[in-house]
Amino acid sequence: MGEEGKAGASLSDRAVDWLVALDCGTADRAAFEAWRTADQRHAAAFAQAAATWRRTADPRLSVLLDQPAEAQPPATEPTPPPPAMLSRRAVAGGALAALVATAGAGAFLAWPRRAYAATAVGERRTLILPDGSHALLNTDTRVGWRFDDERDFWIERGEATLLVREAAKPFRLNSDPIDARLGAGKFNLRLEQESAQLLVLAGRAAAVYRGTLARTLAAGNALVVGGAGAQVSHFSPAAIAAATAWERGEIVFNGMRLDRALAEFNRYLPEKIVLQDADLAPTRLGGSFRIADPDGFLQALQQGFDIGHRQQGNQIRLFRRRAA
């Protein structure tokens, strides 16, 4: 590539950087306008990037989302190849040379950016989205949405349950690592540091996991991803009740190990509960507890398992009580 070509590619990259920042609401508008008006080539590059972005939003789902989420593929047909996993940066940058747009910058700036909402640790809240759908946000969750030509909803961290209304426009759920198209119904997406889970509570969803095309998920099924990849699992009524107990302000432990139970409770606590004695970790717990009542949980551990607790700094430490 000659020097002129390299300069053009660099300018295209910069234009896409600005476009991403504007879409996410993190751009300095004054700095952007200074860059755009400093050189007519800057304005042209941004206009082209904006036009491309507008036409190619959410390319990762382009193959899957051509089909209604409710439509099950015939059992006799082979599984179609997964859609290409392309970032918006790659799509916008790669197509700039083929597009000519003179009014793209103004059109993009008038295009609604994402709106955002978040919850603090221990907080839960309900959002009413522009189409009348509802989003129930669990503790320490951040989401975004943009409803214009499509209904796009992002979960950046945490957990949310979506009650999706039927509409002509598709409802697209976006996250890392799961993207999906949702029909009317109820859905739960939970993101953890090294795993994620999309659970269909009612309705159907068509989901993509990092280039892998998953079959349409019906109610009671979940796409579960982790270190071993992705798999579709069926949830029993008891498992569904436990997974959605937070909506009722509860945590349910159905034979859960103590170390895992603490990880669940700590999602809601600014002061974390930790094990002082590691040999307590395999202890199996049952029952349900109120999220807002960690003292009741600690009391149950003491009465049922003779596990004591003490405050130490900003932690609550659990230990095995010794007989006198």
- The 10s digit of each residue's pLDDT in 179-228 is 999 999 999 999 998 899 999 999 999 998 876 656 789 999 999 998 77
Share of the chain above pLDDT 90, in %: 55
The architecture CATH gives domain 249-320: 3-Layer(bab) Sandwich (3.55)
Q: What is the pLDDT of residues 271-294, one digit of tens each?
A: 999 999 999 999 999 999 999 999
pLDDT of residue 230: 86
Q: Pick from 187, 192, 197, 176: which is nearest to 140 by CA?
A: 192
Least confident range of 77-91, 169-183, 252-266: 77-91
φ and ψ at residue 143, rounded to 5 degrees: -135, 160
Place of tokens 């946000």: 137
Mean pLDDT of 120-131: 95
CATH-assigned architecture of domain 115-240: Sandwich (2.60)
Q: Among 123, 118, 117, which Cα is nearest to 270's?
A: 123
Give residues with Cβ within 8 angstroms of 33, minimum separation 6.
none
Tell me the residue type at 1.
M
Predicted TM-score of the model (pTM): 0.70
- pLDDT category, 15, cuts 50, 70, 90? confident
Burial 173-198, CB ≥16 within 10 A → b, else e: bbbebbbbbbbbbbbbbbbeeeebbb
Domain residue extents for the chain: 3-110, 115-240, 249-320
